[in-house]
């Protein structure tokens, strides 16, 4: 492990902090979802559909950062459980809209906390300046990761967002 200096920050510490936040977020989400008989991705789908009414499969995939095929599997299981239904668009038969059933709406109303609230709570404790700086840095990091993926410098198959649900 490299020694941090004034000119060279403790990058291992930064990576550890990011991994801790990611791991804790997933652990908390999994626990919350489990209380309602759901998986983490199913909880995410329910809480994303709740305020919107419906989303296309592609929109849902983009919002939870998973492949269409992964989200199709999640939606298949949720449909079998009576939580969502799908409807083909009348304007474009290739587009499939996903919406909550009455059972799904009732469950969504029962779940009063969203996984992202965990982050909102702790971020709300930051000063305005720290929050602005953090957003700027994270946005820059996210953009760089997108660039590296587009350049083919980072693998894009499997991994994050590909868990069963």
CA 75, CA 93: separation in Å to the nearest integer? Answer: 18
* Contact call for residues 100 and 50 (beta carbons, < 8 A): yes
CATH number at residue 117: 1.10.10.10
Q: What is the mean pLDDT of the chain?
A: 88
* pTM, to two decimals: 0.75
pLDDT digits (tens, 9 = 90+) for 127-146: 999 999 999 999 999 999 98
| Residue 165 resides in a domain | no
Q: Which domain holds residue 134?
A: 27-150
Residues 75-84 have a mean pLDDT of 98
End-to-end CA distance of the chain: 37
CA 111, CA 160: separation in Å to the nearest integer? Answer: 24
More confident site: 65 or 59:
59
Counting the structural domains of the chain, the total is 1
Q: What is the pLDDT of residue 55?
A: 96
Q: What is the pLDDT of residue 154?
A: 83
pLDDT at 163 over 50: no
pLDDT at 2 over 60: no
More confident site: 118 or 163:
118
For Cα atoms 63, 140, 119, give the angle at the middle one, nearest 5 degrees. Answer: 50
| Residue 137 resides in a domain | yes
| Residue 131 resides in a domain | yes
């Amino acid at each position: 492990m490299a020694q941090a200096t004034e000119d060279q920050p403790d990058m291992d510490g930064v990576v550890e902090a990011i991994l801790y936040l990611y791991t804790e977020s997933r652990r908390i989400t999994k626990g919350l979802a489990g209380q309602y008989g759901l998986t983490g991705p199913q909880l995410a789908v329910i809480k994303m559909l709740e305020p919107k009414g419906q989303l296309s499969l592609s929109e849902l995939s983009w919002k939870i950062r998973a492949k269409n095929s992964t989200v199709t599997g999640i939606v298949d299981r949720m449909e079998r459980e009576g939580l969502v239904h799908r409807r083909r668009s009348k304007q474009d038969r290739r587009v499939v809209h996903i919406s909550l059933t009455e059972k799904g709406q009732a469950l969504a109303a029962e779940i009063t906390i969203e996984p992202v609230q965990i982050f909102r709570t702790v971020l709300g404790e930051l000063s305005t300046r720290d929050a602005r700086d953090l957003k700027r840095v994270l946005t820059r990091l996210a953009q760089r990761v997108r660039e590296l993926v587009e350049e083919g410098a980072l693998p894009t198959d499997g991994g994050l967002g590909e868990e069963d649900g």
